[in-house]
C-alpha cells in the first residue's frame, strides 16, 4: 500500500470470537503417547525434549484421541472436516458479528482461511446460503498460506475496506490440525508437530466505518527467498503430510528486519510499540523476535498464552491473540501495534494499527435496507468485476 493510502479511512478489526473443541489432550498425555507409540524410535529422546520445550500445556481436538490416532483414509477425514466445520463455524460467526455490531446483511465479503481440509465450493458458499448473507457477498477462500493466512485475511479485509470505505468484511479461520495426523510419518519434525498443533475456529469482522478495536493503517507481505520447502505439505493418497524443516525456528532473523521495515515506512519503531500480536508457531519464534526487536518477552504475552493453552492453531492464532488483548481490557486510545502471521513460503503477512474505541452505529431495523453506493453489480459494472 502507498504510505498515505487509506489515511482518511478508519478500518477497524473488531473483537474476534474463538471456539475450541471439547476433546483435550495434555502435554503429559502427548509425551506418554509418544513413548508408547514410538518406543523404538532412535530419535525419541530428542522428540520428547522438543515437545516438552514447546510450552504447550494442552490442545483441543475435534475427536477423542483414540479416534484421532486412527487413519480411516483421506476421504473420510475430509468428510469429517466438512461436517465439523458446518457444525462449529456458525456459532463463532454469530458471536463475531455481534462483537462488531453487525448483521449478516451488513457483510460485503467473507474471507475464509483454512489449510487442514478442502471443500469446493468453499464453506463461504454454504455460509451465504444458510446464515442470511447477501447473495452478492464476495467470497475469498485462502487455502495455501498455512499459518500466515490469519494475517493475510486481515490484510485482504483491510485492502477491501480501503477500496470500499462503507464495506464490512467477515474473516473466518477454521483449522482442524488433528485431522492431518499421519501415523506413518516418523521424522522428528512430524513427531514435534504431533505435540504442537491444535484445533480451533475463529472469526472477526473488519468494519469500514465505526467499531472498537484495532484501526488498521498499513499492511505488507514479505517472502524469505528460497525457503519454499521449509514448511510444506506433501499431498498423497493418505492426505496432507506436514513437512517441517529444522531451519524453521531460525526464521525470525530474516523476518525481524521485515517487521522493522514496515514500521519504519510508517514512521514507527518496531521495537517501541504498545502491543504485538504475533503468530506463535513455537516458543523460539517469540523468544527470537523479542531479542531481534529488543522488546521485553512480556510484550508477546497474548500470543504466548494462545500457544500455552491451545497449541499452534495455525491461521487462528493471531485472531485468538487479538481476542485476548480485548479481554485483558483493551488499550488506551491511539496505542500503536503490529499484527504478524508467518507461514509457508516462508511468508510473513504484517499490518500496523492503533487501538480505537469509536462508537458503533446503531443497527438498521430493515435487514435489506443497507446498500453500499454503487455496490450492486447491475448498478456498477466496473465494481462488480473487481
Please list the active-site residues: 147
Q: Three-class SS of residue 271?
A: coil
Q: How many angstroms separate the CA atoms of 191 and 37, rounded?
A: 11
Please, is 49 exposed, middle or buried when counting C-beta atoms within 10 Å of its C-beta (0-12, 13-18, 19+)? exposed
* Residue 312 β-bridge partners: 197
Q: Would you give the DSSP letter of residue 223?
A: E
Residue listed under C-alpha cell 474473516: 171
Q: Is 236 exposed, middle or buried (0-12, 13-18, 19+ CB in 10 A)?
A: exposed
Q: How many CB atoms lie within 10 A of CB 108?
A: 22
Cβ atoms of 2 and 159 within 8 Å: the answer is no
Terminal CA-to-CA distance of the chain, rounded, Å?
Answer: 17
Q: How far is CA 329 from the centre of its chain?
A: 21
Q: Which helix (H) or strand (E) holds 212?
A: strand 212-227
DSSP structure string for 106-156: G--EEEEE-SS---SS-HHHHHHHHH---TT-EEEEE-SSGGGHHHHHHHH
How many Cβ atoms from other residues are within 10 Å of residue 42's Cβ?
9
User: Using N-to-C axis directions, what is the helix angle for 301-310 and 317-327, rounded to 10°?
Assistant: 120
Of the candidates 143, 141, 132, which has an alpha carbon nearest to the alpha carbon of residue 94? 132
Q: For the chain, what is the radius of gyration of the CA atoms?
A: 20
Give the distance from CA 11 to its chain's centroid.
Answer: 18
Amino acid at each position: 500500500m502507498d504510505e498515505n493510502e487509506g489515511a482518511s479511512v478508519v478500518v477497524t478489526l473488531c473483537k474476534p470470537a474463538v471456539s475450541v473443541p471439547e476433546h483435550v489432550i495434555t502435554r503429559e498425555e502427548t509425551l506418554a503417547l509418544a513413548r508408547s507409540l514410538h518406543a523404538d524410535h532412535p530419535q525419541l529422546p530428542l522428540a520428547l525434549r522438543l515437545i516438552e520445550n514447546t510450552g504447550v500445556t494442552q490442545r483441543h481436538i475435534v475427536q477423542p484421541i483414540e479416534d484421532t490416532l486412527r487413519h480411516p483414509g483421506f476421504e473420510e477425514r475430509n468428510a469429517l472436516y466438512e461436517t465439523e466445520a458446518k457444525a462449529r463455524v456458525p456459532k463463532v460467526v454469530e458471536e463475531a458479528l455481534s462483537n462488531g455490531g453487525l448483521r449478516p446483511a451488513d457483510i460485503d465479503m467473507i474471507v475464509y482461511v483454512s489449510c487442514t481440509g478442502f471443500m469446493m465450493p468453499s464453506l463461504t458458499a454454504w455460509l451465504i446460503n444458510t446464515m442470511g448473507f447477501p447473495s452478492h457477498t464476495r467470497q475469498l477462500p485462502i487455502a495455501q498460506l498455512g499459518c500466515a493466512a490469519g494475517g493475510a485475511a486481515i490484510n485482504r479485509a483491510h485492502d477491501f475496506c480501503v477500496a470500499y470505505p462503507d464495506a464490512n468484511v467477515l474473516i473466518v479461520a477454521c483449522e482442524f490440525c488433528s485431522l492431518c495426523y499421519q501415523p506413518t510419518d516418523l521424522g522428528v519434525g512430524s513427531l514435534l508437530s504431533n505435540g504442537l498443533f491444535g484445533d480451533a475456529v475463529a472469526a472477526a469482522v473488519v468494519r469500514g466505518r465505526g467499531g472498537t478495536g484495532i484501526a488498521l493503517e498499513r499492511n505488507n507481505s514479505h517472502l524469505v527467498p528460497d525457503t519454499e520447502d521449509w514448511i510444506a505439505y506433501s499431498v498423497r493418497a493418505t492426505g496432507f503430510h506436514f513437512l517441517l524443516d529444522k531451519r524453521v525456528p531460525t526464521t525470525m532473523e530474516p523476518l525481524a528486519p521485515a517487521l522493522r521495515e514496515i514500521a519504519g515506512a510508517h514512521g514507527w519503531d518496531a521495537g517501541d510499540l504498545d502491543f504485538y500480536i504475533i503468530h506463535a508457531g513455537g516458543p523460539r519464534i517469540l523468544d527470537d523476535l523479542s531479542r531481534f526487536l529488543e522488546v521485553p518477552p512480556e510484550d508477546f504475552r497474548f500470543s504466548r498464552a494462545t500457544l500455552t493453552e491451545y497449541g499452534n492453531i495455525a491461521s487462528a492464532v493471531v485472531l485468538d491473540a487479538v481476542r485476548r488483548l480485548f479481554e485483558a481490557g483493551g488499550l488506551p486510545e491511539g496505542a500503536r501495534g503490529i499484527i504478524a502471521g508467518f507461514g509457508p513460503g516462508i511468508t510473513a503477512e504484517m499490518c500496523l494499527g492503533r487501538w480505537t474505541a469509536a462508537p458503533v452505529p446503531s443497527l438498521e431495523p430493515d435487514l435489506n435496507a443497507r446498500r453500499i453506493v454503487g455496490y450492486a453489480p447491475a448498478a456498477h459494472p466496473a465494481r462488480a468485476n473487481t
